Amino acid sequence: MNRQDTQLAADAVPVTKASVDPAALTGRAIVTVPAAHGLGSRRRLWPLVVLIVLIAAGGGGAYVGWQRMHPPLPVGISVSNGRIEADEIDIATKYAGRVAELRADIGDLVESGQIVARMDTRELQQSLSKAQAQAEQAQHVVDQAHADLTQSQSQKTFAEQEMERTRSLLQSGWTTRELADQRQQALDAASAGLIGAQAKVSAAERALEAVRHDVALYTVQIADHSLIAPKGGRIQYRLANIGEVLAAGGKVFTMLDVGYVYMDLFLPTEQAGKVNVGTDARIVLDAYPDRPIPAKVAFVASQAQFTPKTVETKSERDKLMFRIRVRVDQDKLAAHVDAVRSGLPGVAYVRWNPDVAWPARLQVSP
């Protein structure tokens, strides 16, 4: 081996995967970037960290503000959610008939005794007129019977006087026994005639009374065809139109009794057991969070029951609860009848410990 071959053998290096130069294979220069990606990642994380800190600070501030506006309730006051309700009253027909007139509509505020609809009464009016005519005729019969009675009484009186004179003449011998018998028969006939006249008067008066009852019956039926609001309230639904023929009991309107507004809520056993009828309460509607409404407990259930789904927390839904009804104070309600609505959600507070003062946000201005 010569010197040149020896140099070539020394320079020969085994080719491996690790020793292959990519630049040599591709013919492109490979630029190596310094390993500074850790610092760049930390720089990108700073805005996210700042955002998280700001959110946490804002949430904490909001929570502190909410706590200030809604401080925890003192022990002795319970709270639960519900909906404000008013009793529904159906205004319906008593007899089958046709709707002739509607005097109210949805949303109208009506007073107790106000006529809201009228049914067709033409047939009843004709029957009433007939009964009134019969009553007039019966009255004439009664008058005639009384006249006959007066005549019979006069005849009996005359017969009694004749009999008395005949007895005096018979004792003196100035008349005969035959005439005395005739006078006695006349007296007996007059007495019988008087009894018959009295019976006719009684029968005529009973007939007149019966016809007058018919007149009163038709009058009542006509009055019942005028549908009135049994209480003051607001018309919620109109269920019939003019000209419709309804069966007996057919509904025309549904109204809300604004004199009885309440909210049903559910409390657990340890709290419901301390609540009594008449306990002071407050209702706060979601629509008016700054206007607590004074109320009183009107009903406490005697048996526990499963809580309906409207109770918001699962821990409360898993328990047996007692239903409690709080009723809006009547004096306050009378001053705000126009604002009464049914179905508005809210919460009710019940103060079962009378020694505990209401928080400032639940105080009611006089």
pLDDT at position 298 over 50: yes
Q: Specify the pLDDT at position 3.
A: 43
Q: How confident is the model at residue 53 (pLDDT cuts 50, 70, 90)?
A: low
- Domain 78-86+259-362, what architecture? Beta Barrel (2.40)
pLDDT at position 36 over 50: no
pLDDT tens for each residue of 119-168: 999 999 999 999 999 999 999 999 999 999 999 999 999 999 998 888 88
Give the pLDDT mean for 35-53: 59
* Residue boundaries of the structural domains of the chain: 19-69, 78-86+259-362, 89-119+226-251, 122-224
Topology classification of domain 89-119+226-251: OB fold (Dihydrolipoamide Acetyltransferase, E2P) (2.40.50)
Range of 219-228, 298-307, 308-317 with top mean pLDDT: 219-228
Which of 58-67, 95-104, 152-161 comes out lowest in average pLDDT? 58-67
Higher pLDDT, 166 or 242: 242
pLDDT tens for each residue of 328-366: 987 777 666 666 678 889 999 999 998 999 998 888 876
Q: Specify the pLDDT at position 300.
A: 92
Q: Specify the pLDDT at position 75.
A: 85
Q: Specify the pLDDT at position 51.
A: 66
Q: How confident is the model at residue 6 (pLDDT cuts 50, 70, 90)?
A: very low
Give the pLDDT mean for 109-126: 95
Q: Specify the pLDDT at position 314.
A: 52
Higher pLDDT, 49 or 240: 240
User: SS3 letters for the chain?
Assistant: CCHHHHHHHHHCCCCCCCCCCHHHHHCCCCCCCCCCHHHHHHHHHHHHHHHHHHHHHHHHHHHHHHHHHCCCCCCCEEEEEEEEEEEEEEEECCCCEEEEEECCCCCCEECCCCEEEEECCHHHHHHHHHHHHHHHHHHHHHHHHHHHHHHHHHHHHHHHHHHHHHHHHHHHCCCCHHHHHHHHHHHHHHHHHHHHHHHHHHHHHHHHHHHHHHHHHHHHHHHHCEEECCCCEEEEEECCCCCCEECCCCEEEEEEEEEEEEEEEEEEHHHHCCCCCCCEEEEEECCEEEEEEEEEEEEECCCCEECCCCCCCHHHHCCEEEEEEEEECHHHHHHCHHHCCCCCEEEEEEECCCCCCCCHHHCCCC
Give the pLDDT mean for 46-64: 59
pLDDT tens for each residue of 216-232: 999 999 999 999 999 98
Higher pLDDT, 219 or 23: 219
Q: Specify the pLDDT at position 44.
A: 63
Q: Specify the pLDDT at position 320.
A: 74
Q: Specify the pLDDT at position 35.
A: 45
